[in-house]
Structure 1
Amino acid sequence: MPRPKVKPQDRRRAVKACLSCKVSKVRCNAQSPCNVCVRRGRENSCVYSTETRSSSIATPTVRDTPSVANQEYRNEETDDADSIPEFYQDTRPLRVSSYDAETACQRSPTQSRTLMTSKGEKVYVGAASSLSFLQFVRQVVGRCTGSCTFTENESMNLMLEVPQHQHNESPISWLEDEADLQHSKRLLDASFEATSGILDLYDRDEIIGCFQEHRSEALAQGNTTPTTTRTDFAVACLALAIGSQCQSSTTNRTDPTIYFAQAQHIAFEGFLFDPSINIVRIFLLMAFYMLGACHRNAACMYLGVAAKAATTLGLHQAEQYSSCTKEEVRVRLRCWRSLRVLDTLVNAILGRTTSTVSMYSSIDARDDIYVDTVSPNSRSLVSMYRLCLIVENVQQQLSGPISLDPAVAEKLLQKLGKWTQTLPEDLRNFTVSNTSPLASQKDRELVIGATHVACSYYFTVAIVTRPFLISHLMAQLQLRQNNNILSIPPGDAERTAKLAEACIEAAIYMAQICADAVQSNMLHDNMCILKAWVFAAGLLLGFSLFIEEGVESTRATVADAYNSSCVVLHHFARLSPQAEHYYGILNNFADAITKYHQQLAESKRRSTGKYVYRIFSIASEGQEGQTQSEQMDSLGHAEEDGSSIFGGAGNVDEFMRLADEEDEVGLANFWNEISLGTQLSTFF
């Protein structure tokens, strides 16, 4: 029985809510900006969706699920009915018994899709992206459980983008006195930490020298605005923008968009006519900043400019280095490797081709030219660079419509295994000091670089083995619904199961590493690449929990890792609307998992209860006639504060209080006291 309608005059909640409050499932007062966004210091990200809610899909029975192997998957945002495949115009329930194992080995289980930007433009994301996998998971969940918050969401077809501040090129006052100079050095340290293992474009002394030079020039002229707008000054501004972006407002005195606007103005002020190393640096740094600012498409475009500038300078050809000095070789190689790493990682996340994919690069095969093994950041970048050469090969294998052959997947995993043997020891292990709870800048840079390297490896393993996880889990669903009759040959099923196990194991390791780094106070509040990797891991773990019924201890491990990914995203959500969006998706997915397994349990009780009948039940007002699982589902949707993740609303309130007060010690104690497995271990 549906809930009784509430009269407008009796409504206690706002009719609409901003996107940030929707994904966080907290109460919004519908103001602009709302009270929640004001309290969290994110007034600029308080936006409201103008999209009307789509009609609900037909609710199938619990046994109904899509035939994932031999059907086309539509893009949810397509409005033209004529362009939708016939399969999707037929709303009759589908049976998993039509699963074709042979076709599943030939077709890619996930399909590319287009999403809408905030400006109404359609943008492409590839089949290997987590967003395409999310679409596939939503279809499976919708067919198994019916319509729910996870499968029906107003923002599911939007690519989240946060409006940017518009700043005039106002003078930057960070050079006025010694205190401002020291604050700039702290932001520079944060920038080195946040980009560790991904970018290695300059030395710390190089940027500090730029600070001091422009400060002396400004003071000599009696003002704080440098008159010489050189590209090295733009690089310094971007370093400060990235450092400011990843820190909370309580420790940061300046809006990062001011630094970025100054650098962006310099970058487009005639400098594109003359390519230089600094142009490559500037556009790489702007791309990294845009990722943290939730503008992934802008980041991809900036990467394209950086790639063209790099090839114009010949950074990709080894023979061009013969006439360079040792220092010039060092600078050029650092720029090229940073470009290759960031370009590969970003496009692997979005399932797009890299900006350098069509270039023949003789430098990629020449590790002997120059390898800096002195600084931790250089060591982590070199390791990441070598990994990205494999990642690009993986992307090329996954870009076609044909799914990976198990033999090809195993060869790629062997390549990745050989790469792990080349990692230096400090990228494998790190011991947190018990006597010093606050990490030093050197330790933080090392740990973040090692975390980036490790997670990129696990992410690569996951995207290689994800098609086999899908085949394995859908076969398990087929077994459940067809009286243990499976059409996959036993040998292929065993091989697929091993690759699927590798996929889940990689996701577990990724979630655990990031949770350990958060608990050790090593990560910043906004990590632009890590949040996408953690979200990808959470989707894989959730899909496994949704379908697979394995050993209790194994499911508990997967459930703990799933909750760890939610905790990490909730940590990043303090500064990142994109992480908050990811957290909301995984929170809704957890509700769908709970609902589905409650339905399965109730179905089993009905099938075995031939001699015992339920003759009396107690329901709350408005729930008369509902089954127990429906009542539990209603209660689950009533929890709008995300308490299911933390095991109770009181824990959420305590977490939000500690987060708002930036109480790092209190947060560390909170992680030690709370059980990460509360959310799902109750049901599994």
Structure 2
Amino acid sequence: PEKRRRIAQACDNCKRRKERCDGSRPCSICIRRRRESECQFSETPARLLRGPQSNTANIGSPASVSHPSPSVNGATANAESHSRPESVAPVPRLARLLRDTHGKFMYVGDSASLSFVQSVRRMVVSAIGECDFTNDPLRHQIIETTPPSTMQVPDMSPLDLDYDECKRLSQHYLLATSGLIEIFDVPTYYRNLDRWVFDRARDNDLKSAVFYMVLAIGAQVSSPDGDQTLAEKYFNRGRHMAVMNFTDAPSLMTIQAYICITMYMLGACRRNAAFMQFGIAVRAAFALGMHKSSTHALFDETEAGARRRIWKSVRLLDIFLSASLGRPPATSDVSMEADRNVAEEAAQVTSTDPFSSKVLALCDIFERIVIDVYMKKAVSTRLADSISGQYRDWTNDLPESLQLSNLGPGEDDPDKLIKALAASHIISAYHWSIILLTRPFLTFQIIKDMSRGGQDSQTNDQMEQSSIKTYADACVDSSLRSLNIASTLMQYPSLPHRLPFIINSVCNAALVLGAATFADQDKFLPLEDGLKQGMQILNRFAQWDPHAARYAQIITYLQEATTKYIRQRSERSLESRRSGVTRLFG
């Protein structure tokens, strides 16, 4: 102990976490965690830094908190973020328990779209009073479909399968999951499918569970009339095999099967069931050490590649479920941040697959937003500045597979649609993450503008207010871009009938545009056109997807509320002008 190197002062982050700081500015630990802009040195005792969170999580409006500028030799962007007061916007505390179709209470957190709907309802009440949007009879419920015959053991008698039909359903599976889950090598899958279909003893093959789940998803998203009888038959058979064969001893097929079960349940509008089933996939991945990329080197390249693909799929699904339902992520592994060798090895591996590298990097950004913003119930401009740096890094050198400009609509080519869906899924997720990060700033900006009644007001800190407004504008901009992406996809005739990731993005984007209308942003932004665009997209899916139908109903009510608000605003403006004329001419 007497030989341990002492430093004059540790940064606040290291004091709070009881870690050994090297005293550099920024310190190596903050650099490792990508928290350079938050590496501050103060005289605050460590016991106070480890105390309860500040009261910003409990306030009803943002607070401007001035911090002394630390002497940090960082990048220009970091220095700029330290040179101005830090504005903190609270995340509206709208997490609540909603009843499902069985009357049971299910938790929905602050980042969920249904929680934001409640926030918008409060804005609408303040602006125009009660209406269909605020008095929606289903506002206290979460829509979950109930599958038929859940208590019955599925019929396991041999099935007569047609290879061409199985190949067609497999193609629809690849369309629906393009860019999202990649649990097997596609050419190898088709070779195995050929043998499997013609094997009369196929149900004795452990791989049958995965094959049936693939066929189930393909049937689910391609049924022209929405009939799910065939999809449910394949699903029930595949899940029964997975439960009987894969739940006791974790394996790659365990994870593959339960990832497919999760995707099917998301498409079937059974999100809570998907959330539960996905837990098996996550725990199996942990049991196999997939969360530590250094373990991949112990296997041959074929299996190592399979493990990397599967882990990427697990990570992405976890972040989607976490953010969309407002629940803690399951794959958040804090210990991995401290292991730089593992992280560097992971970067080297994914460098050969830039698409996967970008997906994993986006998941890291999502996770930080969920944990540092929504779990802590507040977002500061300094934190937003730090995360925006990660966005800038992410958008640098986007691979061609993520360039939407190269994937415009054209002939109905399945290969082209697969590429378009992969890019659209990931770029839509990118915009959705920006919406989640900036939504608290937008909410504050809207409430402030509504309280002013549209009148300009002076502020003591124009720089601070400008920063908040910039992030609020980013929320609206990303919403408009999300809707444009989804609208482009609608031009493909062979688009899958159920796309829960796209539907989620469209709903969140439309809610933002509706909310922004109550801050009069429709005067200079195409918010009304965006709302109509969102409704058209949701109505396109509504004939097959109950969630899309429910979201379309919500957005219809919201559009009616915005129309009423715009009409009342016009009447007030006309009355004001007429009063001036009357004073002049009587």
**Paired residue for 1:446?**
419
SS in 2 for 1:443: helix
Query: Alpha-carbon deviation of 1:301?
Result: 1.1
User: Matched residues in 2 for 1:433 and 1:369: separation?
Assistant: 32
Where 2:180 maps in the other structure, the secondary structure is coil
Map of 1:456-467 to 2, 5 A cutoff?
456-467=429-440
The equivalent residue for 2:469 is 497
Instruction: Return the alpha-carbon distance in structure 1 between the equivalents of residues 332 and 494 of structure 2.
Output: 34
Q: Percent identity?
A: 25
Superposition deviation, residue 602 in structure 1: 2.2
Q: How far apart, CA to CA, are the structure 2 residues paired with 1:72 and 1:292? A: 38
Aligned pair in 2 of structure 1 residues 488, 153: CA closer, same or farther (>3 Å)?
A: farther
State the one-letter code of the partner of 2:365: I
Aligned with residue 480 of structure 1, among 429, 453, 469: 453
Is the contact made by 2:425 and 2:502 (CA closer than 8 Å) also made in structure 1?
Answer: yes
| Distance (Å, rounded) in 2 between the aligned partners of 1:596 and 1:317 | 53
Q: Distance in 1 between matches of 2:99 and 2:343?
A: 36
2:319 pairs with 334, 339, 344, which one? 344
Does the CA contact (< 8 Å) of 2:59 and 2:90 recur in 1?
A: no
Unaligned runs of 5+ residues in structure 2 are: 1-55, 66-86
After superposition, the C-alpha distances for 1:519-572 in whole angstroms (9 at most, x for unaligned) are 24463221011101110000001111232246x4x33x2322222221111111
SS in structure 1 at match of 2:107? strand
Residue 257 (structure 2) pairs with residue 278 (structure 1): no
Contact 2:171/2:218 (<8 A) preserved = yes
- Distance in 2, matches of 1:431 and 1:321, equals 34
Return the match for 2:220 from 245, 263, 278: 245
Q: Which amino acid letter does the alignment assign opposite residue 293 of structure 1? A: A
- Choose which of 143, 152, 160 in structure 1 pairs with 2:126: 143
2:292 to 317, 320, 324: 317
Residue 380 of structure 1 and its aligned partner are, at CA, apart by 3.7
1:207 aligns with 2:189: yes
Q: Which has the larger helix fraction?
A: 2
Report what 1:534 is aligned to. Answer: 506
Amino acid at match of 2:443: I
Which amino acid in the other structure matches residue 190 of structure 2? I
The residue number in structure 2 matching 1:437 is 411
The residue type paired with residue 126 of structure 2 is R
Q: Which amino acid letter does the alignment assign opposite residue 192 of structure 1? A: L
Equivalences for residues 151-550 of structure 1 within 5 A? 151-166=134-149, 168-171=153-156, 175-176=160-161, 180-218=162-200, 226-230=202-206, 232-249=207-224, 255-358=230-333, 360-361=335-336, 365-368=344-347, 370-371=349-350, 380-431=355-406, 437-438=411-412, 440-480=413-453, 484-485=456-457, 489-521=461-493, 523-549=495-521
* TM-aligned CA distance change 1:288 to 1:172, over 3 Å: farther
Aligned match of 1:105: 88
Q: Secondary structure at the match of 2:298?
A: coil
Query: One-letter code of the match for 2:479?
Result: A
Change (3 A) 1:319 1:548: same
* Contact persistence 1:129–1:349 (CA under 8 A): yes
CA distance in 2, matches of 1:172, 1:507: 49
Q: The residue matched to 2:349 in structure 1 has which SS?
A: coil
Q: Aligned pair in 2 of structure 1 residues 187, 321: CA closer, same or farther (>3 Å)?
A: same
Structure 1 Cα separation of the partners of residues 470 and 109 of structure 2:
26
Matched position secondary structure for 2:106: strand
TM-score relative to the length of structure 2: 0.79
Contact preservation (8 Å) 2:90, 2:440: no
| Residues in 1 aligned to 2:380 and 2:62: alpha-carbon distance in whole angstroms | 16
Residue 563 of structure 1: aligned partner: 532
Deviations 1:417-465 (A, max 9, x none): 211113212311455688x632x22111100000011101101111111
Which whole-Å deviations, capped at 9, do the CAs of 1:558-600 have from their partners, x for residues lacking one?
Answer: 3222222211111111210100100110011000001112122
- The residue that corresponds to 2:568 in the other structure is 599
| Deviates further, 504-513 or 267-276 | 267-276
Q: Given that residues 244 and 252 in structure 1 are in contact (C-alpha distance below 8 angstroms), is that contact kept between their aligned partners in structure 2?
A: no
Distance (Å, rounded) in 1 between the aligned partners of 2:347 and 2:427: 24
Amino acid at match of 1:475: K
Aligned length, in residue pairs: 500
Change (3 A) 1:433 1:408: closer
Please give the alpha-carbon distance, in whole angstroms, between the structure 2 residues aligned to 1:429 and 1:215.
37
1:491 Cα offset (Å): 2.1
Aligned residue identity for 1:517: L
Shift of 1:611: 8.2
SS in 1 for 2:97: strand
1:228 maps to a residue whose letter is N
Distance 1:517 1:390 in 2: 25
1:166-220 CA deviation, whole Å, 9 max, x = no partner? 26522577644xxx211110110111111111100012333334433333331xx
Deviation at 1:133, TM superposition (A): 1.1
CA distance in 1, matches of 2:408, 2:112: 38
- 2:516 partner letter: S
Question: What one-letter code is carried by the residue in structure 1 that aligns with 2:542?
Answer: A
Equivalents in 2 of 1:145, 1:466: separation in Å? 22
Partner in structure 1 of residue 552 of structure 2 = 583
Alignment root-mean-square deviation, CA: 2.7
TM-score, with structure 1 as normaliser: 0.68
Structure 1 residues 190 and 127: CA distance shift in structure 2, 3 A: same
Determine the C-alpha separation between the residues in 2 that align with 1:486 and 1:401.
30
SS in 1 for 2:453: helix
Q: Deviations over 1:265-294 (max 9, x none)?
A: 011114311111100111111111111111
Q: What SS class does the counterpart of residue 124 from structure 1 fall into?
A: strand
C-alpha distance in 1, partners of 2:502/2:228?
25
